[in-house]
Amino acid sequence: MDIKTKISIINQIPEIEKVCDSVSAFGEENGLSTKIIFAFHLALDEILTNIISYGYRDKDEHVIDINLSLQAGALALEILDDSVPFDPSEAPVPDINQPLEERKIGGLGIYLVKNLMDEVEYKSKDGINRLTLKKKF
C-alpha cells in the first residue's frame, strides 16, 4: 500500500521551506532516516529554486505540486509544474576535476541531485513537467 501526501506551493522561493517541512513531517511519521530526509531537502532546494528562478517567462503566480509516496522500499517524490521544459538527464555533466576558477557556472546542483537519488525520471506532456525522484531506504 502506498502512503501518500500532496503539497501545493506557488512559485516563490520562501515556499521551499514549506515543502521541506512537509517532507520532514512525512519522513518522521513514516520512520524514515534523517539521511533520506536530508537528501530530499537538498534535492528539493536545488530543483525548486531552479524552477522558480529560471522556469517561468512571466511574473505570474504558478502552482507547483509535490507528491510524496512510499513505494516498495523507496521514498518517491514527484514535482509537477508548468514551467519551461527542462530534462535534468540532458544537463551536461560538470568536470568536477577541473580547477574551480576554470569551471563553467552552473550544473553542479543537478549533478548533486542525480548523485543523491537512486532514480531521476523526467517527462513533459501537455505543458506539464513531471520530475520523479526516488531514494531507496
- Asked if residue 76 lies in contact with residue 132, where contact means CB atoms within 8 angstroms, the answer is yes
Give the domain ranges of the chain.
3-136
- What are 3-48's pLDDT values in tens digits? 799 999 999 999 999 999 999 999 999 999 999 999 999 999 999 9
The CATH fold of domain 3-136: Heat Shock Protein 90 (3.30.565)
- What are 78-129's pLDDT values in tens digits? 999 999 999 988 887 767 777 767 766 666 788 899 999 999 999 999 999 9
